[in-house]
A = this chain, B = another copy of it.
Amino acid sequence: MSKPRYRRRKEDRPQEITEAAFDAFADKGYASTRVEEVASRAGVSKGLLYLYFKTKEELFKAVVKNVVVRRVDALIALVDKTDQSSEAFIRGPASRFLKEVPDSPVAVIIRLLISEGPRHPDLLDYYYQNVVSKGLAVVQRIIRRGIERGEFRPSIVDELPHLFLAPVMMSVVWRSLFGKRSLDTDKLIDTQIELLLAHIKA
């Protein structure tokens, strides 16, 4: 009547390992995280981990791909579903979404990409295709819709959707370096949005 020392759970392992890896990478960064550490957090042996992921690098890629895709797609869905005015949408759901980023898993991924990206060009390509360009496109789309509806006037801003993301980026970096001290990231993002709206409103 001894308890089994482990359960066979082929289906769940990859996801669990991926999540453990995310946590570990978030704490220590990619290079400084030992595979053993990931395995231990996932409650499995190192050997098993290597059954599901051929190398540490592949694990890294799996983590990145795993976390981000949902989020962007969520925002896109949001945009398509809404019937608010563009301005209301930007001030409401879009603003909330952006303000969440610095505390979300996305922030961790961004940090990981900055650190390790240059050594993983194919990963950067993937990320650019599936996250960055989609993200920029969706911002642009909101603005253009506003223009078509006569809410906004054409301006340089709709060629530079990056302007909406800059304070978010800054917040992510700031938080990762200095924690919450001396920068109210919500205020930064809000102010930038107000600035941009003031500039593009018809």
Contacts and interface: CB of A to CB of B under 8 A. Distances in A.
Contact of A192 (B166, B177, B188): B166
Given A169-B169, A173-B173, A128 B178 contact: yes
A104 interface: no
- The secondary-structure label for the interface of chain A is helix
B29 A118 contact: yes
This chain: how many copies in the complex?
A: 2
A199 interface: yes
A160 to B, nearest CB: 6
A69 interface: no
B191 A195 contact: no
Contacts of A188: 160, 162-163, 166
Interface string A113-140: 1111111000010001000110000000
A88 interface: no
A187 interface: yes
A184 to B, nearest CB: 8
Q: Which 6 residue pairs of A and B lie closest in terms of their CB atoms, listed nearest first?
A: A31-B31, A115-B115, A166-B170, A166-B166, A169-B170, A166-B167
Given A166-B192, A169-B169, 5 more contacts: A111-B114, A157-B191, A162-B174, A170-B170, A173-B173
